[in-house]
Amino acid sequence: MRRRLATLPLTLIALLPFAAAQGAEKSTPHSTPLYDASVAQLEARMRAGTLSAVQLTQMFLKRIAAIDRAGPRLNSIIELNPDALREARRIDAARKAGKPLGPLAGIPVLLKDNIDTGDKMMTTAGSLALVGAPAATDAPLVARLRAAGAVILGKTNLSEWANYRSNHSSSGWSGRGGLTRNPYVLDRTACGSSSGSAVAVSAGLTTLAVGTETDGSLVCPGSMNGIVAIKPTLGLISRTGIVPIAHSQDTAGPMARDVADAALLLTVMAGSDPADPATKNANLHKVDYTKFLKADGLKGKRIGVVRAFADGNPAVLRVLDAAVAALRKAGAIVIDPVVIPHVDAYGKDENLTLSYEFKADLNAYLATRHGIPVKTLADVIAFNKAHAAQEMPWFGQSIMIESEARGPLTDPRYLKALAAAKRLSGPEGIDAVLQKDHLDALMAPSNGPAWVVDLVNGDRGGVSSSSPAAVAGYPDITVPAGFVHGLPLGVSFFGTKWSEPTLIEIAYGFEQATHARRDPEFLKHAPI
């Protein structure tokens, strides 16, 4: 969750193709570099026999060593999977033997370090309090990825505890992983909490990544790192085996460089899980989301523009105006502006709801883990106090302390806040404006430009449109839309529950109409 809205010199190797990948990248004079290639392009090369899963995995590992561990030192990856090459060899052997392969066969995927894997990697949410034995089993979404043939490359850094520890935190910092850097401008925030996943995708350290969101943790890092991120309908993807904040808003989601890859990853991860009651109807709504990748997906769509989220920022408004023009040119019917009712009315209810749910949900999750130093939120708080030099050099744990003091989930105060937040954000908020203006979706700036990192004072915050969809549990997709002084800006398309097919059509149509994304250049400071 993103509650509030010393750079190193750049080495030449960070900007050049890598030796291990050069041979495979020379299939044509103008071929897309492997680190920038889409799933479809990589799968075509593997089917043709000009690329293997092992070669692809080796290339990413070398690129991680050169860019993430050295060079600009993005610090996006907290742990590499020691079995990644073995997984890749298994996929290559299956392909060679003519065995059926899944849609992600041989494709590297990074996971946010709050997602359980039943392998040699730890799951820590960035906290030293969870360092110890790995989780016993894969989270269901990880099992789906493996079944689809994905190579789990490693775990990504994040805002510790998904940024649910202190109101003065800095996004992308964790006690275990340190600070993740924005690959466009290194002294700027990567946002969070899925900072490492977004940075790794943006910088070409993986093909795909998985993040999680409670409010803004997919959308904000997606926007500020110039990639596509999908925050799906609550209950489309299982949350079992994910370190939680709050069951009323938590969800995992895909992160990719384009809408097509994000839609494919969503298709693989979605589905019901008996252990997660929220996913009861997921199989009824899940479809092959790649069927909605229509170049003319904007034609005839009615889209409302929520300008209030631009907060009067001239730079954001310029990008938003250009996005509106692109929508109209591509055949969309744009209603500009529209107003979401009650959008400022449920912030306190949301915060109170999360505060109650965090203790209950985290204690339930910790009961599934063995071989780590903590079993309850109270244990985590005590651990942080005992290891303050490592865990609290920059900010404290006031949010955790506040949550620990809350009563049970039968408390009338909690139940009232939860009901109000859901009602005002969903039926009386997003749904009301969609119905009033007969809209297919809403569009708003995802966030403003990334701010300069300030570990002493914490995040500066700014423009953010994530809360209505996050609180309601509705889907939200951010797509690159433009740049301000070298910093990427995204726009978000969001709508009612289970409206992913419509939003993917719109997002893909917008992407094809604008092609706004460009690769990061690892600048030390924003150009004037």
Q: Note whether 182 and 189 are within 8 A (CB).
A: yes
pLDDT for the residue 444: 98
**What angle, 0 to 180 degrees and rounded to 10, lies between the N-to-C axes of helices 347-366 and 377-386?**
90
Partners of 476 in beta bridges: 231, 494
CATH topology of domain 19-514: Amidase signature (AS) enzymes (3.90.1300)
Read off the tokens for 302.
């009615």
Q: Note whether 356 and 350 are within 8 A (CB).
A: no
pLDDT for the residue 502: 98
How far is Cα 209 from Cα 178, in angstroms, rounded to an integer?
Answer: 19
Mind telling me the catalytic residues?
112, 193, 217
pLDDT for the residue 373: 98
Partners of 441 in beta bridges: 303
Low-confidence ranges of the chain (pLDDT < 70): 1-30
pLDDT for the residue 199: 99
pLDDT for the residue 1: 60
How far is Cα 420 from Cα 423, in angstroms, rounded to an integer?
Answer: 5
Q: What is the pLDDT of residues 340-377, one digit of tens each?
A: 999 999 999 999 999 999 999 999 999 999 999 999 99
How far is Cα 34 from Cα 36, in angstroms, rounded to an integer?
Answer: 5
Report phi then psi at 348, rounded to 5.
-65, -40
pLDDT for the residue 21: 34
Q: List the alpha helices (DSSP H) in 282-370.
A: 282-285, 314-329, 347-366
Q: What is the pLDDT of residues 211-270, one digit of tens each?
A: 999 999 999 999 999 999 999 999 999 999 999 999 999 999 999 999 999 999 999 999
pLDDT for the residue 22: 34
Break the chain into its structural domains and give their ranges.
19-514
